[in-house]
Amino acid sequence: NIDVCLSPELIHQYELKGKIVVVVDILRATSCMVSGLATGVAAIKPLADVDICKGLKQEGYFTAGERNGSKVEGFDMGNSPFEYMEPHLKGQKVAVTTTNGTLAIEKSKTADQIVIGAFLNLTAVAKYIQQQDKDVVVVCAAWKGKVNLEDSLFAGALVERLAASHQPECDVPRMMVKLYQIEKNDLFTFVKESSHARRLNKLDVFKDIEFCVQEDTFDIVPVLRDGHLVLAG
């Protein structure tokens, strides 16, 4: 079976034990994680707390901090996928905290496995799940508890890709598939009208949005192991 949790605020309604949770934050946390690990970052440590994250600089991590769409003072990086693909990060570890994405990971910790999903690695995530005989919950990071467009669209895309192996658990997966099917030929036009796209556009990150709605740029699957996101396999 597959289910979709549209906001971390609703997560208590879902049983995650024994299941694969796919955490998604298209704009931009999980798109960043996928981009970084696909282009040579060795490991990414997601943290909900700003100070703990900042402190990891002392342990040799590059630090990435975002709140309300902007880079947090004192961090090496903000939350753009292009920053994660910089050549100087190859072989390095990144510690990251973001408004919603890293919190969604934190709240999913009772799951059997945590997988990081984005449009950028959509097919790779679907294939990874198909190799296992486990139920799936897609956890959308949303925005401060409010349901958003881009994460919901991704949920629909993944449910559609898994139609042959995973039956929708409640009505949300079916609803999201319909939404994705209506919009899938031009995700950018739809997502650029989303509340977070407008929020980020004020911060001049339009090219991030264009990048994050691309499907299957990378053939990798990040999974959480011992507190770090690393490549599955």
Alpha-carbon distance 53 to 64, whole Å?
8
**Piece of the chain touching ligand MLT by CB under 6 A; list 2-10, 27-35, 130-138, 164-172:** 27-35
- CB of 144 closer than 8 Å to CB of 107: no
Find out whether the peptide bond into 28 is cis, omega within 30 degrees of 0. yes
> Does position 66 bind ligand MLT by CB under 6 A?
yes
Q: At a CB cut-off of 8 Å and minimum separation 6, what does 146 contact? A: 7, 195
E strand or H helix that includes residue 64: strand 62-67
Q: Which is nearer to ligand MLT, 25 or 135 (CB)?
A: 25
- CB of 187 closer than 8 Å to CB of 119: yes
> Does position 98 bind ligand MLT by CB under 6 A?
yes
Q: Which is nearer to ligand MLT, 50 or 175 (CB)?
A: 50
Task: Give the shortest CB-203-to-ligand MLT separation in angstroms.
Answer: 9
**Piece of the chain touching ligand MLT by CB under 6 A; list 10-18, 22-30, 33-41, 109-117:** 22-30
Task: Give the shortest CB-105-to-ligand MLT separation in angstroms.
Answer: 10
- Residues 145-184 as x/- pattern, contact with ligand MLT by CB under 6 A: ----------------------------------------
> Does position 79 bind ligand MLT by CB under 6 A?
yes
Q: What share of the chain is helix, strand, coil (3-state, %, to 5)?
A: 45, 20, 35
Q: At a CB cut-off of 8 Å and minimum separation 6, what does 61 contact? A: 45, 92, 93, 94, 95
> Does position 101 bind ligand MLT by CB under 6 A?
yes
Which residue in the set 7, 35, 63, 100 belongs to the binding site for ligand MLT (CB under 6 A)? Answer: 100
Q: Which is nearer to ligand MLT, 135 or 150 (CB)?
A: 150
Which residue in the set 4, 16, 29, 221 belongs to the binding site for ligand MLT (CB under 6 A)? Answer: 29
**Piece of the chain touching ligand MLT by CB under 6 A; list 24-32, 119-127, 129-137, 184-192:** 24-32
Q: What is the CA radius of gyration of the chain?
A: 16
Alpha-carbon distance 126 to 137, whole Å?
13
Q: At a CB cut-off of 8 Å and minimum separation 6, what does 24 contact? A: 30, 116, 117, 118, 138, 139, 140, 141, 151, 154, 155
Residues that bind ligand MLT (CB under 6 A): 25, 27-29, 66, 69, 79, 98-101, 141, 200
